[in-house]
Structure formats: C-alpha cells, structure tokens
Amino acid sequence: MTDLTLTPAASRTASQGWIEKVGIGHILLAFFLLIYPVMASDFFLTQIGGYSLVLGMIALSLMLLAGYGGMVSLAQITVAGAAGYVVAIFGENNSGVYGFGWPWWIYGPLAIMIASLMSALIGWIAVRTEGIYTIMITLAVATACFYFAQQNYALFNGFPGYNGLRAPDVFGLYWRDPVPFYYLCLANAVVAYIAVLYGARSTFGLTLQAIRDNPRRMRAIGFNVTAHKVFAWWLAGLIAGAAGILLVWFNGRISPGTIAVGPSINILVIAIIGGLRHPIGPFIGAVIVTLMQTFAIDIIGAERFNTLIGLVFLLIVFVSPDGILGLWERLKPQAGRDDWRSFKKAANKAEKKGRNA
Amino acid sequence: MATNVAASRLQGTGANALELDDVGRQFGALTALSGISMRIAAGERRAVLGSNGAGKTTLFNTITGDFNPTSGTIRFFGEDITTLAAYERIRRGLRRTYQISQLFTNLTVLESVYLACRGVSRRRFSLLRPSPSDGAMAQAESIVHAVHLDDDRNATVGMLSHGQQRQLEIALALAGAPRFILFDEPAAGLSPTERRDLIEILNALPKHIGYIIIEHDLDVALRVSEYVSMMHNGRLFTEGTPEEIENDPTVQEIYLGGGHG
C-alpha cells in the first residue's frame, strides 16, 4: 500500500530534480530580485536595494572569514575602502589630486587586486591570533588605516578624501542610473553569493571549516594552517574589493569617514543580525540595517535613531545569537521538514524496489 | 619475533623509522622529558608505558612537532626533523592520533577523512568540490571502510558516539601513505567489544607501517606491540619484550602500584 501512494512522488522528484537542487527559496528570491525594479521607486531601487547589496557583499566577506574560518574581522570596510581609493586615484575625481583617468576595465581589476592583497596582508598579521584577539588586531589595523588616510595628503588627500568619482558609461548606459546600478550590484552580489555557497563544500571550503573546528588536528594531517587562513583572507578581499568599487560609485566619493571605526562596526552588526551560518545572512542583515538607518530618523528623530538601531540589534542577538537565520531555523516547522525527509527516503526506497522488481 | 626486533634495533640508521637522541623538553622550571634516546626500526610496533605524567604524550608532541624539544635531535627515516613544521613531518609519512579526540565536529566522517587524504597530496587549495572520481575521495572511502564506519560516513562528526570518534581518530592517521604512526591511548574509554575491534584494526595494518602506541590497558598494549619502552618521570626507565616487561618486578611496582605483583 505504501508503494502505491509513494510512486507518484518518486516520479515527481525525478522530473523536478533541478528545482530541488537549486531550492524553491532561491527560485522565489531570484524572481523577486529580478522584478524588483518594476515595483520599486528610484529611491528604493538605489538607496535601499543597491546599497543593501553592496553592504551585504562586504558583510559576506566577513561571513566567509567568521562563519567558515572562525576569524572575526573588523577590517572588511578598510579592504573595501582600499579598492575605493584605488578607483579615486586611478580613475577620475574632481578633487584636483591624482585622478589619472584610466578606464574602468583597468582600474577595476587593479582595485580588486590591491584590496585582496591588502586583505591577505591584514590576514597574515591577524592569523597569529585567535578569537577576541583577532577582533582587536583587525580593529587596530582598521583604526590605523583610518587615521593614516585622514592625515596623509600625498596619497589619500587627507580629511576631505576624493570627490566626484563617477561610475563609467558602458554599452550606452550610465551605471549609476538607478536601474543599471541595481542590476550591476545584483549581478556582483549573486556571483559572490553563489561562489561562497559553492565554495563552502569545495576542498578549500572544507579545509577552512576544519581549521575553524580544530587547527591543531589540521596541522597533524598535513595542512599549513597559516597559509590556508591567509588564502581565505585573500578570497574575502576579492569580494570586499569588488563591493568597495560599487560603494564609491554609489557614494560618488571616498573619504576617511568611509573607513572609520563606525562603518567597520556597522559591517559586523550587519553580519551578526543576518547570521553567520549561511551566505544569505549578511544580505538579510544588510537590508534590515539599511531600512533602519534610512527610516529610523523618521520614526524617532535624528538624535535618537542610533538608539533604536542599537535596541533592535540587542533584541535580535538576545532572542537569537545566530541572527535572523538562527531565528528562522528555530521557527521553521520541524515536524513538516522531518515528514518531507522521511517521505523522500521512503520514495527512494520504493523506487529501488520497483527497479529490482 | 622479539629477537628479530632486537636485531634490527642494532642495525645501521638507514633501517630506523625513528631515532631520538637525548631528547629533552622543559616547560619553564619543569622538566617534562630528559635524555630520551630511542631507535625504532621501520615497521616495528612499539608500546610506550608509564604512569600518568611520565611524559609519554609530551614525547609524542615533540616527535610530531606540536611543540619542539628543548634539547636533542629527532630523525625520521634518517632525516633530521627536530625543528621541522608539524605539517611537513606529516607529509613525510608521520601520523598521530590524540588521547583526547581532536576532530572536526561540524564536518561529516567522509569529509574529515577526505581532508586527511588531501593534506598529504596536491590541490589542497582547490576551490572546486571534490568529485567522486577524485583519488583522495576514493582513498577516503576505503579508509572509512577499514575502520568500520561505513554506515556513518555521512554523519556529522559531533553526533558520533565516543567509540566511533575514537575510530575516526585512527582513520585520520591512516590517510595518505603513512610510514609511521603514533597512537596516543586509542583504547581510552572504549567498551570491551570496541577494544577487540581496535586490536583487530591495529593488527590488520600493513606490515611496513610501524607505530608507537601509548596504552594504559596492558591487555591491549602487549597484544599489539613487539617491544615495550617504560617511561617514568620524563625518562626512559627500561625496555624489553612484552614478556620481560610483564615480569619485571620494578615495572610492576611503578606501573601497577605493586598491588598486582
């Protein structure tokens, strides 16, 4: 009798294999993100949509290090900022300092390369430490970079930084226009997201998680733990660097304020609110924080809006240390999920039986 | 058997898997090891006995490079590895297990063993997912089978029972092409059945793989070793065949507290 009821299910799983593989959640999300520009105003498209995706990417680079590698970094905005400064110096700016006017397809890769190397360098310094000390040492690096950029006029143009950075025109589109910018950010975010999701189960991804779980044992099975950690920092730098370019195109400027301690903690808050368990977490966190930072002022005024953000952060961390993702994990209908799994197992068994017969 | 081992111990250095010369380790004012000299032939199976705090695990740590000795030299198949990085020693064929399981709690059994195989081969930095046709993956499968963990190959390591975790400990040491393994109390906390399983696994190891086993359970230790070294207070106290050690009155007194004599 069980066979009878399960046979249709078995054939269904076969024909819908790819949907299951990608996940219904991903398909719905992709659909929503693709048609979002139809529904959203320019403000919601750029200031909320595009900006969330950029912040989400920077937080994703932190999630990669913290979630898989157990290394919490406060220097991710610094890495993004490094890419931003490269754009300002080698691209165009109207601050009258540097601005070599190189085309985007040269300064873009250059910015990502320099940012990732800087990330690897920060990582190389930080991997000697663990836990709270990694946070402190990256905070120290971030702070040092902030003050150096603020006081150095020769390279960073000091306090004012660089203004008038302009996104390029490619294929007749100005990439800072709302719709193109949104899709540009979306494309970058999706590539980074898929890369991290896929990479988590790659040889290196497993290595990184194993190092997080037990570095001593990793050495005892032949891995150079330091080299692998530094490589993770370099990879995180690629994501943060790409996001840094988008960030300065979005802002049209870069100054020491962009890489100050406040914004760097902001990235950590985004990652924690969203959750560090899965690469979707940082993007969820980014949307929540961006919405709060945009609209909290309307709710309780300019003087107190940070208090509201702080309280929400406190509430989320208090209710669920794993962020929104952890909350979802707990609220997800457990019974239903188990049913579905046992259902699938039974279906597979029935299928095998059928084949044998 | 014992005479063969004794004979090989006297041969030239080329035949020795491990040579320790006057190895010592200080922790501040504390002397954990002093004047340890040992010759262990390739393929030899040695037990190291001694009471708690005798320095057995410290000895392992200096051999594998978890930390370096403060004096003396260690040679592995003739090569001086005294100050070599831990992972470099592993790539030369040295392996170890830990007294307290050191595992990757969030990975699966198969993933853990796969990494152990990957650790001593190329493409450690690969950003691609391991394919089923991957040599390291195939080896991992066979090792998982050898330590009787087939049914739990896709289980998360943190969910395994203590006994299964101990089996995985051994699996990680068998990965790659080990030439010499250090087993640190592999039977700790195992049930009698699991102990029998363990003895079976150890005796089924290919003959070219030598090992040192630290084991408090004399039943296990003497059944899987050809030669025994006794340690006491950080020094090598005496050496001999399992029979000699078992019947040595001083050993009885120190190790068994005299009560069993």
Question: Alpha carbon A19 to chain centroid distance?
Answer: 25
First to last CA, chain A: 16
Single residue among B157, B175, B193 that ends a domain in this structure? B175
Q: Are residues B129 and B155 in the same domain?
A: yes
Please check whether residue A33 lies inside any domain of the structure: no
What residues in A contact B182, CB-CB < 8 Å? none
Q: Are residues A349 and A215 in the same domain?
A: no
Model pLDDT, residue B257: 60
Put simply, whether A246 touches B (Cβ < 8 Å) is: no
Which alpha helices (H) appear in A128-260, and where do they start and end?
A: 132-151, 153-156, 178-199, 203-213, 215-220, 225-251
Token output for B234: 């950080």
Single residue among B175, B201, B229 that ends a domain in this structure? B175
Put simply, whether A36 touches B (Cβ < 8 Å) is: no
Determine the Cα–Cα distance for residues A106 and A99; give it in Å rounded to an integer: 13
Q: Are residues B82 and B199 in the same domain?
A: yes
What b/e readout covers A92-130, taking b as 16+ CB neighbours within 10 angstroms? bbebebbbeebebeebbebbbebbbbbbbbbbebbbeee
Single residue among B175, B202, B229 that ends a domain in this structure? B175
Q: Are residues A290 and A186 in the same domain?
A: yes
Which residue is associated with the tokens 């039974």? A346
Q: Are residues A190 and A337 in the same domain?
A: no
Determine the Cα–Cα distance for residues A233 and A240; give it in Å rounded to an integer: 10
Q: Are residues B9 and B131 in the same domain?
A: no
Question: Which of A199, A217, A223 lies nearest to residue B124, judging by beta carbons?
Answer: A223
Please check whether residue A21 lies inside any domain of the structure: no
What residues in B contact A222, CB-CB < 8 Å? 87, 90-91, 116, 119-120, 176
Q: Are residues B44 and B58 in the same domain?
A: yes
Please check whether residue A240 lies inside any domain of the structure: yes
Please check whether residue B210 lies inside any domain of the structure: yes
Interface confidence, given as ipTM, is 0.86
Question: Which of A199, A210, A224 lies nearest to residue B104, judging by beta carbons?
Answer: A210
Count CB atoms within 10 A of the CB of residue A302. 9
Q: Are residues B136 and B85 in the same domain?
A: no
Q: Are residues A273 and A344 in the same domain?
A: no
List of residues 6+ apart from B83 with CB closer than 8 A: B68
For residue B103, the distance in angstroms to the closest alpha carbon of chain A comes to 6
Whether the pLDDT of residue A46 is over 70: the answer is yes
Handedness of CA A241, A242, A248, A251 (dihedral sign): negative
Determine the Cα–Cα distance for residues A121 and A78; give it in Å rounded to an integer: 12
Which residue is associated with the tokens 């979306």? A186
Model pLDDT, residue B217: 79
Q: Are residues A183 and A330 in the same domain?
A: no
Are A132 and A104 in contact by the 8 Å Cβ rule? The answer is: no
The number of folded domains in chain A is 2
What residues in B contact A220, CB-CB < 8 Å? 64, 66, 86, 90, 95-96, 98, 102, 172
Q: Are residues B162 and B186 in the same domain?
A: no
The helix (H) or strand (E) run that includes residue A169 is strand A169-170
CB contact under 8 Å between B64 and A220, yes or no, is yes
Q: Are residues A152 and A70 in the same domain?
A: yes
CATH of the domain at A62: 1.10.3470
Model pLDDT, residue A281: 94
What residues in A contact B112, CB-CB < 8 Å? 210
Q: Are residues A355 and A243 in the same domain?
A: no
Q: Are residues A273 and A330 in the same domain?
A: no
What residues in B contact A224, CB-CB < 8 Å? 85, 87
Which residue is associated with the tokens 């913290």? A66
Please check whether residue B230 lies inside any domain of the structure: yes
If you average pLDDT over residues A338-342, what whole number do you get?
Answer: 43
Residue A209: domain span: 41-304
Put simply, whether A102 touches B (Cβ < 8 Å) is: no
Q: Are residues B171 and B184 in the same domain?
A: no
Q: How many residues does chain A have?
A: 357
Please check whether residue A119 lies inside any domain of the structure: yes
Distances (CA, A) of B239 to A124, A169, A210, B47, B260: 46, 80, 39, 10, 20
What residues in B contact A223, CB-CB < 8 Å? 87, 115, 119, 124
Q: Which amino acid is present at A307? A: T
Count CB atoms within 10 A of the CB of residue B142. 11
Q: Which amino acid is present at B74? A: I
Please check whether residue B98 lies inside any domain of the structure: no
Please check whether residue A153 lies inside any domain of the structure: yes
CATH of the domain at B38: 3.40.50.300
Q: Are residues B231 and B111 in the same domain?
A: no
User: Which residues, listed in sequence order, are joined to residue A174 by a DSSP beta bridge?
Assistant: A169
Residue B113: domain span: 103-175
Token output for A129: 């430490």
Put simply, whether A69 touches B (Cβ < 8 Å) is: no
Q: Are residues A152 and A122 in the same domain?
A: yes
Q: Are residues A325 and A284 in the same domain?
A: no
The number of folded domains in chain B is 2
Q: Are residues B226 and B252 in the same domain?
A: yes
Q: Per residue in B3-25, pLDDT tens?
A: 444 444 444 445 689 999 999 99
B45-50 and B94-96 strand pairing: unpaired
Sheet holding B71-76: strands in order across?
B30-41, B16-27, B71-76, B79-80
Q: Are residues B76 and B131 in the same domain?
A: no
**Per-residue three-class SS string for A48-87:** HHHHHHHHHHHHHHHHHHHHHCCCCCCCHHHHHHHHHHHH
CB contact under 8 Å between A224 and B111, yes or no, is no
Q: Are residues A349 and A286 in the same domain?
A: no
Token output for B179: 């030439």
Per-residue model confidence as pLDDT tens for chain B (261 residues): 444 444 444 444 456 899 999 999 999 999 999 999 999 999 999 999 888 888 999 999 999 998 999 999 999 999 999 999 999 999 999 999 999 999 999 999 999 999 999 988 888 899 999 888 888 999 999 999 988 899 999 999 999 999 999 999 999 999 988 999 999 999 888 899 989 988 988 998 999 999 999 988 777 888 899 999 989 889 998 888 988 888 888 777 776 664 443
Determine the Cα–Cα distance for residues B129 and B134; give it in Å rounded to an integer: 10
Token output for A85: 């400064």
Model pLDDT, residue A333: 59
Single residue among A304, A328, A344 that ends a domain in this structure? A304
Please check whether residue A289 lies inside any domain of the structure: yes
